[in-house]
Amino acid sequence: MSQMNRRRALQLLAALGTSGLVAGCGSDAEQDATSTQSPIKIGLIAPQAGANKAIGDELGNGFEMYLDLNDGRLGGHPVNLITADEGDTVKSGQAAVDGLLKQGVLAMTGVASSSVMFGIRDAVERARVPLIGSNASPASLQSVVYIWRTSYVLDEAARALGRYMREELRPADQVATILPEGVVGVEDVLRGFRQEFGESDPRIASQVVWTSGTASPSKTAYVSDINRALSGNPSVVFCFYAGPAAAEFIMQLRDAGFRGSIYAPGFLTEGTVLDDIRPANDALGIRTALNYSADLNNAANRRFASAYRKKHNISPTTYAMASYDAAKVLDQAIRLAGPAATSQQVNLALGRIGQIDSPRGAWQFNQPRTPQQKWYLREVQRDGQVLSNVLVSELATLG
């Protein structure tokens, strides 16, 4: 049928009141338009080896999960997802960005390391290609135009936890603060925790105990520093570790005889950490604050978590969730920007997408291009034969 005759037929059908038939024809037209949308390239920056590989895997899994559930398309376009190895240095991160830009990506996502995020900032801004960061988000990354983040700002988990602990702990409790020296974002965490708990609260030890900041510590790396922290006989430890360092810290803290309460931003028990702790009971009862828990009961999370478990046979982490949401916001922004969108038009559209229906609960971008979102208290509990971060309560909305 010619386009003119088709249009005339639709007009006649509408005049006759056959709305169901017209709707059917309209659906066919929409499908035809979608099927002819040109392919687009999206770059995923993630570490493929080293201490952050587990996080990199989750970033890839989350983004691909969204594509799996949406016919491999963003904004109606078939997606060619190009993965670049972030490595573990600023130099390798810069090389990843340069390589993706040379391949003509419409947008980029990922980035596990805060130091890499700082290192690639200027290259991203000069290229004017939007980067949807799905993990690294230091508070000092400010005044960016093309960098958006679907994860968090590093001080927020500590702020939410500090506010909770201030009310929850007993007057006689003493808190030892143990942190890794030189890790990007650790000062954000310390500042957020102290501001919300109370700088002058006598329950907080005046001195922070600093440990090695290596991402792959030895089995004795923290022993002397932990003993120094425990010499004050604290009943509570507040700390900030992730990945292999988190597992080692927990085991060495328990080996030193500490049986009190452990509180931390959620990265302490996220990802593969709980699988690496031996004996497993050493992790029971640890309480953490995070923007996501795999057992959140909302429609978006039921769909996401169920599909993720079916594909990977494990529960999703905040890293996977934030990457899933990065795909979701790109999907909406690319659709808003139109069928022949440029990177600059997609970037403008990101500011217009409004509230996101996410597995973590509804959230939206704030002025600094980070999420305004809820934070949750979780506790490590036994779920059958495995350990799991179980949702306890909602803590705060921050951002």
pLDDT digits (tens, 9 = 90+) for 166-208: 999 999 999 999 999 999 889 999 999 999 999 999 999 889 9
The set of long-range contacts for 91-98, using a CB threshold of 8 Å and a minimum separation of 24, is 91/119, 92/116, 93/45, 93/117, 93/119, 93/120, 94/119, 94/120, 94/123, 96/45, 96/120, 97/43, 97/45, 97/123, 97/124, 97/127, 98/123
Classified as helix, coil or strand, 383 is strand
Q: Among 290, 319, 292, which residue's Cα sits nearest to residue 158?
A: 290
Per-residue model confidence (pLDDT) at position 13: 34
pLDDT of residue 261: 98
Q: How confident is the model at residue 386 (pLDDT cuts 50, 70, 90)?
A: confident
pLDDT at 6 over 80: no
Confidence of residue 391 (pLDDT cuts 50, 70, 90): very high
Q: Which two tokens stand for residue 293?
A: 């828990």
Share of the chain above pLDDT 90, in %: 86
pLDDT computed for residue 35 by the predictor: 54
Whether the pLDDT of residue 304 is over 80: the answer is yes
Answer whether residue 160 shows pLDDT above 90: yes
Mean pLDDT of 36-42: 91
What does the alpha-carbon distance between residue 74 and residue 22 come to, in Å, rounded to a whole number?
Answer: 27
Distance of CA 93 to CAs 49, 71, 346, Å?
A: 13, 30, 23
The SS3 of residue 398 is strand
Rounded mean pLDDT of the chain? Answer: 91
CA–chain centroid gap for 396, Å, is 17
pLDDT at 31 over 80: no
